[in-house]
């Protein structure tokens, strides 16, 4: 029996506890690749094809998840890869700002597993 395709997601998050939580919550549904730094994420994007990017915005570096998305979209094979902003920024206007920056969706921290999974599935279906 052929295994059903599980979408491949690159998760970029600088907090180890959040990385572990995301891995635990999503691994049963998606193929997960984890990165904690922007440079690591860019190297992974050079070597792998991803179906979706799940990017923290505040990565503890001078560069942000917004900067990372801009760099990822410079790769020809990732020009149209959908991206979800996963962030603690939750003030009025933040969601709209991230959508204007090129993200297809926004999930604020703290998040519920089902909300995150539904958002991922919705974005993947909308961009398929």
In a domain, 93, yes or no: yes
User: What confidence category does residue 2 fall into, taking pLDDT thresholds of 50, 70 and 90?
Assistant: very low
* Stronger pLDDT, 79 or 92, i.e. the higher one: 79
Structural domain containing residue 42: 8-121
Phi and psi angles of residue 27, each rounded to the nearest 5 degrees, phi first: -60, -30
In a domain, 128, yes or no: no
CATH, residue 72: 3.40.50.2300
User: What confidence category does residue 114 fall into, taking pLDDT thresholds of 50, 70 and 90?
Assistant: very high
> Do 120 and 30 form a contact (C-beta atoms < 8 A)?
yes
User: What confidence category does residue 92 fall into, taking pLDDT thresholds of 50, 70 and 90?
Assistant: confident
Domain count, the chain: 1
Share of the chain above pLDDT 90, in %: 84
Our CA angle for 48, 9, 125, nearest 5°, is 115
79-87 mean pLDDT: 96
In a domain, 102, yes or no: yes
C-alpha pair distances (Å), 125 with each of 28, 55, 62, 128? 18, 19, 33, 5
| pLDDT of 61 higher than 80 | no
In a domain, 85, yes or no: yes
44-73 mean pLDDT: 94
> Do 39 and 67 form a contact (C-beta atoms < 8 A)?
no
> Do 70 and 89 form a contact (C-beta atoms < 8 A)?
no
pLDDT tens string 4-23? 789 999 999 999 999 999 99
């Amino acid at each position: 029996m052929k295994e059903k395709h599980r979408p491949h997601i690159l998760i970029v998050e600088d907090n180890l506890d959040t990385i572990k939580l995301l891995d635990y919550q999503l691994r049963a549904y998606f193929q997960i690749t984890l990165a904690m730094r922007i440079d690591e994420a860019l190297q992974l994007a050079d070597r792998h094809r991803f179906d979706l990017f799940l990017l923290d915005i505040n990565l503890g570096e001078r560069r942000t998840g917004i900067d990372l998305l801009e760099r990822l979209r410079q790769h020809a094979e990732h020009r149209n890869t959908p991206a979800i902003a996963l962030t603690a920024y939750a003030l009025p206007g933040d969601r709209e700002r991230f959508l204007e920056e090129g993200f297809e969706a926004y999930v604020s921290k703290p998040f519920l597993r089902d909300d995150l999974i539904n958002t991922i599935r919705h974005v993947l279906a909308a961009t398929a």
